[in-house]
Structure 1
Amino acid sequence: MIKRMAIMLSAMAIVFGGLYGFQAFKATMIKKAIGAMANPPQTVSTVIAATDNWQSSLKAVGSFKAVNGADLALQASGIVQAIKFASGDTVEAGQALLQLVADDDVAKLTSLEATAENYAVVVKRDEEQIKFKAVSQATLDTDNANLKNARALIDQQRAIVAQKTLKAPFAGRLGIRAVDLGQYLGAGTTVVTLQSLDPIYVDFYLPQQALAQIRIGQDVTTTVDTFPGERFTGQIAAINPKVDSTSRNVQVRASMKNPQARLLPGMFAKVDIAVGKPQQLVTVPLTAIVSNPYGDLVYLVDGAAANQNGTARQSFVKTTAARGDRIAITEGVKEGEKVVIAGQLKLRNSSPVTIDNSQVPVAETAPSIVDQ
């Protein structure tokens, strides 16, 4: 009887033990399933960190300015008699562009010239007669003074006549004509704009800290939205010897060749000045950098091949100034490591990830806009 009860108790223990083990196994599986549901793998895109020839640069925005540029106008008023240019013409310095009616002024000039010629004859006669004391020295002095005055009046009248003719003060390209034949022009009315386009200046501002990195003759590269993908080169021509006390910026002027006159005064320009010596640094796309109050960081992927699962790992980094779509990392990432460039929003340390690089955009140091 006792043996029979022992066997029954043993059987019951085995049954209850099996049930308990099954429940424990079930609980463990449920816990794992819940954990997997709470932290599912995140799909990310990655690139392999690689070293590149990197040089720091200063960036600024500026405007193009003509070496010589002016809105041409006349000092005198009058009726337009002749227009000797067409809109958009290229002209030489001193070339006549417009003539006002000046008949009255020319006639007055002729009269003054005749008077001066008469005074010249009188003076010459006095100089001959004074040898024989036929005239006094006072008479000769008076006639000389009259001759000088007459010649001065001629010069004055010639200046008045010249003011009726508009001439190009320097060589360049004319703008659009703003007057018509027979129109009355008041003094100072703009006739046409004249711009000297080759070479051309670009003016921009840099913070005062940049003064130690720039010098006269240093190469400058500019880009304009008008010609996407093109880069125009020049050299620093002048650095303002005064720093603006409000902004603490200094004005810099670069000169660049413009033989085809594609760059025009007033255009907006993006300026890039290479400074320092080139270095071999690890570079990654700019989208890899995640900023937070504690500093910049990136997510690296450990233990994953292409299109396979892996684990994300945070790494705080030190960076240089960005160039285009890329940025150099001086500390925190080694060459050959997988760097997440998209999909970081839900990542944490040790987050499981799945790599999908089917649509990874190209990151360039000097990206260009392509019209499609």
Structure 2
Amino acid sequence: MLLPFHRRRLLRLTLVPLTLLLSCVALAQSAPSVIGTRAIVTTWSDPLEALGTLRADESVTLSTTVTDIVAEINFRDGEQVEEGQLLIRLEDAEEQAQLRASQALREERRNASNRASQLQERNLAARADVEDSQSRLRQADADIQAIEAELANYQIKAPFSGRVGFRNISVGALVTPGMDLVTLDKLDVMQLDFSVPEVFLGRLSPGLMLNATTAAYPDALFSGEIATIGIRVDPVTRSVSVRADLENTDGRLRPGMLMEVIVQQRVRDTVVIPEAAIEPSGDRHFVMLIEQSEGSTRLARREVAIGERRNGEVEILEGLAANDLIVFHGLQLARDGQEARLIGIADDETGIRALLEADR
């Protein structure tokens, strides 16, 4: 049955826009807009995470071996001191008097020995008298050395350069052997002790680099390297102790701090792409390669073998080479063999948002 003329005309007018719309949709499907990124070669490693505790490179609690009164304190809390610097002096007046008496006696015996030697040279004294005077002089020297060694116990000196802690004594206080007087820590290099499971023992070696963070400085990253690996495995925890050295030139790190450790094991150069550019399919992984030639931009689906993942990036073991251009944004509409419109290439300086805004 034929439709009236005005109905056939209305139908033709309706089909024309619909045909144009379907053509536009087909064109859009055939040439999706995509943003690309390039595969790069970068240094990669398998992170091994652990928790560690900081120790000073050198640490000691100074005390005395004698009982006496504090006569002098030559440091302030938290001060940096040098090796050999006198920190605390105890009252040593009696010992100093004994030293002066012994020094006077030594001088007297030296003169007697010299006179005996001169007389013996002129055959006016026996050889035995000369030897006796020299023996008494040596005895005086030994007595002085003993007193000087005893006097050293009355002077507390820094055994190495470092930073002192809080002092717990005052001038006039009576101290006894073994009493804690002050702590001294060498802080320019810190030791970081942590444990790792024994299964990773074969991947560790002295010199392996690591990074560490602490809640005290959440935005800071401290670098170091493994110095020593323990020679025993704990039979209960099945872990091995590891000690690393961290530079602490600015003095921010303190003994006893808890740190999160990331050991950079199996360091290598590898191809890396953004994780968002991966299209998984079961246990297989694909990327959409962007092929450009003679003004044409075409998409090609390619299977890749992936390795480790970290921070939105993925390691490519097979399937891509450095500088290969792949789809980073617009992957949902991309199809194998399609022509595509490349909006731009995202990199460290130009992000997806900036490219999309520039394309409006």
TM-score by shorter chain over 0.5: yes
Task: Specify the alignment match of 1:152 in structure 2.
Answer: 142
Superposed, 1:281-300 pairs within 5 Å as: none
Equivalences for residues 91-170 of structure 1 within 5 A: 91-170=81-160
The whole-number CA distance in structure 2 between the counterparts of 1:137 and 1:324 is 91
Identity, in percent, stands at 29
Matched, 1:85 2:75: yes
Q: Deviations over 1:227-263 (max 9, x none)?
A: 1132100112222334344444322221121111100
Query: Paired residue for 2:52?
Result: 62
Given that residues 191 and 244 in structure 2 are in contact (C-alpha distance below 8 angstroms), is that contact kept between their aligned partners in structure 1?
Answer: yes
How far is 1:264 from its partner?
A: 0.6
- The structural deviation recorded for 1:79 is 0.6
Write the letter of the residue equivalent to 1:71: T
Contact 2:225 2:246 in 1 (8 A): yes
Match among 196, 209, 214 for residue 186 of structure 2: 196
Q: How does 1:306-345 map to 2 (within 5 A)?
A: none
Matched-pair contact (CA < 8 Å) for 2:274–2:312: no
Distance (Å, rounded) in 2 between the aligned partners of 1:217 and 1:321: 23
d(CA) in 2 for partners of 1:107, 1:221: 58
Partner of 2:24: none
Structure 2 residue 254 is matched with structure 1 residue 264:
yes
Tell me which amino acid in the other structure corresponds to 1:110: R
How far apart are the structure 1 equivalents of 2:197 and 2:73? 48
Give the Å deviation of 1:62.
Answer: 1.1
The alignment of Structure 1 onto Structure 2 pairs a total of residues equal to 257
Answer yes or no: is the 8 Å Cα contact 1:205–1:250 preserved in 2. Answer: yes
Instruction: Give SS of 1:119's match.
Output: helix
- Amino acid aligned to 1:86: R
Deviation at 1:155, TM superposition (A): 0.7
Q: How far off is 1:215 after superposition?
A: 2.1
Which residue number in structure 2 is paired with residue 305 of structure 1? none
SS class of match (2:98): helix
Name the TM-score, length of structure 1 as normaliser.
0.61
| Matched AA of 1:255 | D
1:304-358: CA deviations, max 9, x gaps? xxxxxxxxxxxxxx9988857999899xxxx99xxxxxxxxxxxxxxxxxxxxxx
Q: What are structure 1's unaligned runs of at least 5 residues? A: 1-50, 286-296, 299-317, 337-372
Superposed displacement of residue 225, structure 1: 1.1
Q: Quote the residue 1:222 is aligned against.
A: 212
Cα offset for 1:121? 1.1
Deviation of the 1:80 alpha carbon: 0.9
Q: Aligned-pair distance for 1:77? A: 1.8
Q: Is the 8 A contact 1:123 1:140 kept in 2?
A: yes
SS for the counterpart of 2:88 is: strand
Letter in 1 for 2:261: V
User: Aligned pair in 2 of structure 1 residues 201, 168: CA closer, same or farther (>3 Å)?
Assistant: same
**1:144-170 alpha-carbon deviations (Å, 9 max, x no partner):** 222111111101101111211111111
Residue 203 of structure 1 aligns with an amino acid whose one-letter code is D
Question: Hey, what's the Cα distance between the residues in 1 that align with 2:131 and 2:308?
Answer: 80
Q: Can you give the 5+ residue segments of structure 2 that lack an aligned partner in the other structure?
A: 1-38, 277-281, 284-304, 318-326, 329-360
Deviation at 1:211, TM superposition (A): 2.7
Task: Provide the rounded CA distance (Å) in 1 between the counterparts of 2:62 and 2:128.
Answer: 49
8 Å CA contact retained: 1:176, 1:192: yes
State the Cα deviation string for residues 181-230 of structure 1 (Å, max 9, x = none). Answer: 11101122111111111011111122333232222222110011111132
Partner SS for 1:55: strand
Partner deviation per Cα, 1:115-155 (whole Å, 9 max, x = no partner): 11111111111211122332222222222222111111101
Change (3 A) 1:185 1:321: farther
* Matching residue of 1:19: none
